[in-house]
Amino acid sequence: MTSTETTTTPRVAIVTGGSGGIGRAVAKKLAADGMQVLVHYSGGKDRADAVVEEIVAAGGVASAAKADVTDEHEVAELFDEVEKRFGGVDVVVHTAGIMPLSPLVDLKLDEFDRIHRINVRGTFAVDREALRRMRAGGALVNISTSVTKLQQTGYSAYAASKGAVEAMTLILAREMRGRDITVNTVSPGPTDTPLFTDGKPQELIDRIAKQTPAERIGRPEDVAEVAAFLAGPGRWVNGQIIHTNGGAI
């Protein structure tokens, strides 16, 4: 090797919830940017395998792994797996979550607990393991929701869970002082994924779309572009909540 030649090691990313919706778009975008990607899934093995196949067919490197994000031992095993397959981890984009909707007065406490177990405990468990293992130059990207600012009815439990995610993000960024690791949250508005569209009549979706200047709802790729920026070149963006909603708020 001459003095002018350099070698680069591909960065490694975990995308939780990478089997569908926003996670799928993020996994494909990070792979297109040259990262090796571990596509995490909980119950959607076939969908996760399909994402891996798409990435590999496009010339990227990816594999899939299962874990319950609320189980700290399974989360640790997920990170063991990424280190075994790819040698370490540089980026974690945590998209896994659920969004049951109900007016607060009608919501059962068991359902409230389930929302917070997955969205809050799951984020805590994934973030904690990520920050224990992530290499210098790393990036942690959580996913919240613009509903924390929109005050839409029926979203109280979900918005509360994502408010917790935003609070953790802002604190974790400061706890990483001296580690060269950034921590941010992407906060999408209405996005064309099953999580948002399932159960909604088209008339309602069209009405919601009119709230943005572009008069459309977001696409998963819109969110993936922002997550990839934070995971890659956006090193001077840290401890921020990035509202990615087309101007809905």
Is residue 52 one of the residues assigned to a domain?
A: yes
Residue ranges making up the domain that contains 178: 12-191+220-243
Is residue 248 one of the residues assigned to a domain?
A: no
pLDDT digits (tens, 9 = 90+) for 152-179: 899 999 999 999 999 999 999 999 999 9
Is residue 212 one of the residues assigned to a domain?
A: no
pLDDT on residue 201: 79
**40 DSSP β-pair partners:** 65
155 assigned to active site: no
Is residue 213 one of the residues assigned to a domain?
A: no
pLDDT band at 26 (very low <50, low <70, confident <90, very high): very high
- The stretch 184-203 carries a mean pLDDT of 81
When divided into structural domains, the chain yields a total of: 1
Is residue 38 one of the residues assigned to a domain?
A: yes
What's the rounded Cα separation, in Å, for the pair 122 and 242? 21
Helices 109-116, 156-175: inter-axial angle, 10-degree rounding? 30
Q: What is the mean pLDDT of the chain?
A: 92
Is residue 214 one of the residues assigned to a domain?
A: no
Is residue 226 one of the residues assigned to a domain?
A: yes
pLDDT digits (tens, 9 = 90+) for 86-134: 999 999 999 999 999 999 999 999 999 999 999 999 999 999 999 999 9
CATH code for the domain in which residue 94 is found? 3.40.50.720
pLDDT on residue 247: 83
pLDDT band at 6 (very low <50, low <70, confident <90, very high): very low
Is residue 230 one of the residues assigned to a domain?
A: yes
Q: Which of 158, 165, 223, 229 is catalytic?
A: 158
pLDDT on residue 19: 92
